[in-house]
């Protein structure tokens, strides 16, 4: 197994992409700490992983609250001794252009997507520095490169995640820590379905998005998880500072 004996924390681990990553990393031997604000879903995901034979724990709480993060990191260290892998998959979207997005909605998206990524990296990096090894995988979006319509807060937040990923990679490479990200294309998740429902014609919006991919389909969450696994495992030992598109050819078109 590629991750035998490793400890992985996955924020948004009860969601579609985070959950798929949790299941895949667990199958590869990692101990998994699920971090998610949905308490019941967080506990259910950890229980499902344990039922499948993995070691897993639930860390329910706000991904952008410093005190909560500190307590969760302490709980993982107490249980398993350290943290080898961090996957920051927690994310939300509200839709809207700049002029139609309420300041509170903008702030909520930035808090979860950007602050949640930054604060978790900030909490985990000292442990990885002490161990002289570690891998962080952030979750961005192909829209942060290509742009998109009526989703300004989400797209801006993912651009910030991409930039943060690259600068962290340079800051911590000498410590033996690799920091990369994945940039998914449109992935068949509840978040994507909600985005289409905000459109005047949801089916037309869905078809436009699907056909924008040269592969003519949406990604499965499990396909994004494969990119996460590659970047988290030693098979990517010479890869850092990369935001890997897993986008069905969107950015190539």
Active-site amino acid positions: 154
**Closest C-alpha to 192, from 226, 224, 218:** 218
Q: Are 54 and 26 in contact (CB under 8 A)?
A: yes
Q: Report the Cα–Cα distance between both ends of the chain, in Å, rounded.
A: 36
């Amino acid at each position: 197994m590629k991750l035998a004996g490793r400890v992985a924390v996955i924020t948004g681990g009860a969601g579609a992409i985070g959950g798929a990553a949790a299941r895949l990393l667990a199958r590869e031997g990692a101990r998994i700490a699920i971090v998610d604000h949905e308490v019941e879903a967080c506990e259910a995901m950890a229980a499902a992983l344990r039922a499948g034979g993995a070691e897993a724990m639930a860390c329910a709480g706000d991904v952008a609250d410093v005190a909560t993060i500190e307590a969760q990191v302490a709980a993982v260290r107490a249980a398993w001794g350290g943290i080898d892998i961090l996957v920051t998959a927690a994310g939300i979207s509200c839709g809207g252009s700049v002029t139609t997005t309420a300041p509170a909605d903008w702030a909520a998206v930035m808090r979860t997507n950007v602050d949640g990524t930054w604060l978790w990296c900030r909490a985990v990096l000292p442990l990885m520095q002490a161990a002289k090894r570690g891998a962080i995988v952030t979750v961005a979006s192909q829209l942060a490169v290509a742009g998109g319509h009526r989703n300004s807060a989400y797209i801006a937040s993912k651009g910030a995640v991409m930039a943060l990923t690259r600068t962290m990679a340079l800051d911590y490479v000498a410590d033996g820590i690799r920091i990369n990200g994945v940039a998914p294309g449109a992935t068949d998740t509840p978040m994507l379905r909600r985005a289409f429902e905000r459109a005047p014609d949801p089916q037309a919006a869905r078809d436009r998005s699907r056909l924008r991919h040269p592969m003519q389909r949406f990604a499965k969450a499990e396909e994004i998880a494969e990119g996460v696994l590659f970047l988290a495992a030693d098979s990517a030992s010479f890869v850092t500072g990369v935001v890997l598109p897993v986008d069905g050819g969107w950015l190539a078109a």
